[in-house]
Amino acid sequence: MQRVKHIDLGLIDYKEAWDFQETLFQGVIDVKRANRALEKEGSTHVVQTQSSLIFCEHPHVFTLGKSGHLSHLLVNEEQLAAKGARFYKINRGGDITYHGPGQLVVYPIFDLDHFFTDIHKYLRYLEESVIRTLAEYGILSGRIKGSTGVWLDWNNPKARKICALGVRSSRWVTMHGFAFNVNSDLNYFSNIIPCGITDKAVTSLQKELGRAIDMSEVQEKIKTHLAVLFEMELIV
């Protein structure tokens, strides 16, 4: 069973969290490169990589993935400033999305060589942790073929997204992750075309249940499901 470091960053500026991710991500890759060099030299002494699981929230921010279109941001710089929001082009997959207070953001920095080398399976496990958490609140959720993330009423015209995914992977090391709308201010999504999808809505756990939800409670549920799915032990 893999021992994975649990890191809770609380409410943190997006760029600061991104830089922190990059440091951990590059650190794991550097260890893997060094191990590969040692193996080529015939050495049996290798260093164990350390996977991490980061939880946080961000101040209002819009991020655009590598395959996204800037036209999906519907406000200019002045309007962004007026809304107290920032904008970044980033190095994950996917299109544009929103992060803000009340949204649980999870960044796994995993060395998949110690889990399984299958990005499709990795994404489905991230989604599954949210699906199982929603079930604990009595909410049935699922997937839409061709659209990553977690959806409610996914099989009819009332489909609405409650969790978005966007990841980066190199040498089977992951970064970025998923954003789960718990108590999110959904008005901010009207400033973008979320994930480039024009015909479906977004929602939050708060909106579906009609009450605010304790963020630490949701985080514990996500942690538990991820630990089971990835067969890992979370350490501090």
Note whether 47 and 35 are within 8 A (CB). Answer: yes
Q: Residue 234: what pLDDT?
A: 97
CA distance 217 to 139: 16
Q: Which long-range contacts (CB under 8 A, 24 or more apart) does 133-141 make?
A: 133/180, 133/218, 133/221, 133/222, 133/225, 134/162, 134/205, 136/221, 137/205, 137/208, 137/209, 137/213, 139/205, 139/208, 139/209
Residue 146: which pLDDT band, with cuts at 50, 70 and 90?
Answer: confident
Q: Residue 43: what pLDDT?
A: 78
Residue 230: which pLDDT band, with cuts at 50, 70 and 90?
Answer: very high
Joined together, the tokens standing for residue 6 give 């649990």
Q: What average pLDDT does range 43-51 have in this prediction? A: 87
Q: What's the pLDDT tens digit per position in 101-118?
A: 999 999 999 999 999 999
Query: For 47, which DSSP code?
Result: P
Q: Residue 41: what pLDDT?
A: 81
Q: Which residues does 55 contact at the CB level (< 8 Å), separation at least 6?
A: 6, 7, 8, 9, 104, 105, 106, 107, 219, 222, 223
CA distance 209 to 113: 39
Note whether 86 and 80 are within 8 A (CB). Answer: yes
Asked if 163 is an active-site residue, the reply is: no
Q: Residue 149: what pLDDT?
A: 95
CATH architecture of 2-235: 2-Layer Sandwich (3.30)
Q: What's the pLDDT tens digit per position in 207-222?
A: 999 999 999 999 999 9
Which residue out of 24, 56, 195, 215 is catalytically annotated? 195
Q: What percent of the chain clears pLDDT 90, i.e. is strictly above it?
A: 82
Note whether 125 and 53 are within 8 A (CB). Answer: no
Residue 95: which pLDDT band, with cuts at 50, 70 and 90?
Answer: confident
Judged on CB neighbours under 10 Å (0-12, 13-18, 19+), 134 is buried
Query: pLDDT at residue 44 above 90?
Result: no
Query: pLDDT at residue 66 above 90?
Result: no
Query: pLDDT at residue 35 above 80?
Result: yes
Range in 74-88, 106-120, 219-233 with the lowest mean pLDDT: 74-88
Joined together, the tokens standing for residue 99 give 């992060």
Q: Residue 182: what pLDDT?
A: 98
Classify 49 as helix, strand or coil: coil
Q: What's the pLDDT tens digit per position in 162-205?
A: 999 999 999 999 999 999 999 999 999 999 887 777 678 999 99
